[in-house]
Amino acid sequence: MKLISLAELIEEYDDNLSRRSTYEALRERDVLRAHPVLENLIKQRNAVQVDYLQMILREPHRKNELEEEARPILTALDQQIGEYREQNNVTEEPPHYECDICQDTGFAGDGYCICLKKKAYVRVIGAYDLESFSGDLSDYSFEIFTDPDDKARASKMVRYLKKQYEDYPVVRKKQLVLLGKAGTGKTYVIRRFLRTMAEKEQDICYISARNLFDYFHQDRLGETDGVDLLYEAKILAIDDLGSEPMTQNVTREYLFDLMNVRKEKGLLTVFVSNNNLDELNNRYTERIVSRLLSVNDSDVFQFEGKDLRLVR
């Protein structure tokens, strides 16, 4: 998928709103042409509203008095408009929004709406579309494990993740780290965990380390709209940490900053890596790894066993 900028995504929202407004205006125009009495009543109401607004602007000290004066006139006109619509079966079609939270503007409260964030994670930053994955913790299959010890470890892991879900947003530690060789079930379980968490929390960014650091590299070059979305996602899950190219002034620096900012904000961050402790230390330095595997901040799970992809 070709990525776009955040500004381009917001422009798409504006274009969609403009098209909808145009469609609704044309529809209303056709309705009023067929019902001139209704058109006249609506024009009267609009004229009264404009007249009183102009009076309030000229005499702001009389605002309350003028509003009280206008209210019964507007109410009477609204009643006539409603009665005409009912008698002539002219329904006023309510707007239909893809997102009722922001009414398709992309903004809610003081920031971006969750609908825009979810699209931005995928189309701007290059994250996975979580909805494209199937399954959750409720249908986690232990049959993929042939070794009893591996199955016991997996069972413990799933119990822990279910407890995380039950307790969320109150979680004891804000970093979850899954380590182990490729094919030992880390991605399998984390995708189901994130799908389960999505029942409680929509603001989830699940991204490969390669795409994450590609985005950070672009940011370093001044080619992005910033990294706030990643730093502020309620849940950020980074898969295959250690597979990304090492880039000077990017990989270690951005990872360190990302971890610190998210820790300060108390946001849940999940790291999945095929690297062992020595490989992590060699790649990221002890300063970063000590924060990644901090006893106070992180719950760390080590995955053992055979490559399950070969077993199946």
- How does pLDDT run across 191-221, given as a tens digit for each residue? 999 999 999 999 999 999 999 999 999 999 9
- Give the position of tokens 């970063």: 288
Are the C-beta atoms of residues 152 and 142 closer than 8 Å to each other?
A: no
pLDDT surpassing 80 at residue 293:
yes
- pLDDT band (50, 70, 90) for residue 281: very high
- pLDDT band (50, 70, 90) for residue 40: very high
Strand residues in the chain grouped as ranges (E) = 107-108, 111-112, 175-180, 204-208, 235-241, 268-273, 298-303
- For 226-245, the pLDDT digits (tens) are 999 999 999 999 999 999 99
pLDDT surpassing 60 at residue 164:
yes
Where in the chain are all domains bearing CATH 3.40.50.300?
126-311
**What pLDDT sits at residue 251?**
97
**What pLDDT sits at residue 240?**
97
The pTM of this model reads 0.81
- pLDDT band (50, 70, 90) for residue 81: very high
Are the C-beta atoms of residues 146 and 269 closer than 8 Å to each other?
A: no
pLDDT surpassing 70 at residue 266:
yes
pLDDT surpassing 90 at residue 171:
no
Give percent of the chain with pLDDT exceeding 90.
Answer: 73
Give percent of the chain with pLDDT exceeding 70.
Answer: 97
pLDDT surpassing 70 at residue 78:
yes
Q: Stretch 78-92: mean pLDDT, rounded? A: 91
**What pLDDT sits at residue 206?**
98
**What pLDDT sits at residue 306?**
57
Q: Which of 19-23, 144-148, 209-213, 274-278 has the lowest mean pLDDT?
A: 144-148
Across the chain, mean pLDDT equals 91
pLDDT surpassing 70 at residue 311:
no
**What pLDDT sits at residue 57?**
86
The span from the CA of 28 to the CA of 42, in Å, is: 11
Query: Among the residues of 35-62, which ranges form H helices?
Result: 36-58
Most confident stretch, 14-18, 47-51, 110-114, 257-261:
257-261
- Look at the domain 126-311 and name its fold: Rossmann fold (3.40.50)
End-to-end CA distance of the chain: 30
**What pLDDT sits at residue 68?**
93
**What pLDDT sits at residue 305?**
61
The span from the CA of 209 to the CA of 119, in Å, is: 19
